[in-house]
Structure 1
Amino acid sequence: MDFEKIQNEIGGFSRYQVVVITTVAWLAFSAGFGTQSAVFISAIPKYRCAVPPIDDPDVYPSLGESDIKNYTIPYDTATAEYDSCNRYDYNLSSCQGDGDLSCVTFDEDPGTIPCDQGYHYDQTYYKETTRTQWDLVCER
C-alpha cells in the first residue's frame, strides 16, 4: 500500500497530527532534562584544600592523609570533621621537603584562609566527577 493512499483514507494531514507530533516532541525534549540531570547532581567525593608541596608524596613520602589533615586543615570539634573549605594560613612555599615541616608552626595561631591552591579529592570511588572537574565545591 502507498502511504499517501492510507493518509487520504484517514482524512489527510490534519490538526490532530500536528497536536500529536507537537506533544510527543515536547515530551521527548523535556525528558532530556531528567536524563542529563545526573551530570549536574553527580557525586561529591570527600575533599580538602590542596596544600602543595606537603601533599606531594614525592616531597613528603612519610606523610599520610591523616597527617596532612592534622598539620594543615582546621578541625571542627562540634561536627567532628575537618574543614573542607579552609586551611591554616601557613607559608607553604617555605616548605623544604625531606620530612622537614618547619614551615608548619604549632606555637602560634596561624589563622585560616579559604583554599587558595585548589582542592584535593578522594579518588577511592571516583576518578573524576563533574564536581571535581570544575571544582564545584564550597562557595562555588
Structure 2
Amino acid sequence: MFKLDTRSRVAIYEQLMEQLKTLMIREVLQKDEQLPSVRSLAQELTINPNTIQKSYRELEREGFIYTLPGKGSFVAPLKRDANKDKLDELQEEIEKKFKEFIFLGGSKQELIDWLSNLENNEGGERR
C-alpha cells in the first residue's frame, strides 16, 4: 500500500503523509475510515513507530485525520469550502513557482506533462 524510499531526501514521515493524503483525496480511504494503528503500520513498514506517530500528528494538525482517544485515528471528512484560505495561499505559492519555472527556461508543455504525471502517479515522482 505504501512505497517509502529510504534513500530519498524527503523524510519518511513526509512521504507517508503525502501518500496518505493522496489516498484520502482520491477517496481510496473514505471519511471516518479507521487508519491502521501506529504499532501495526510501523511493523508492516518496518520503521520506527515515532515516525508513524509524527505523520499522524501532522495530518491531524492539517485537518486530514482526527483521533479518538482509545479508539485510533480516522479519516476526516474533506471540507473543501472550509479550506478556501489555505487553497488560495497554495495557489499563490504555486503561481510563484510556475513563474520561476518559466523564467528559468521551463516550458508550458513541461508543466502540463508534469501535472499529468502527478495526477496519474500516486507518489507524483518526477520523470
TM-score by length of 1: 0.20
Greater strand percent: which structure? 1
Greater helix percent: which structure? 2
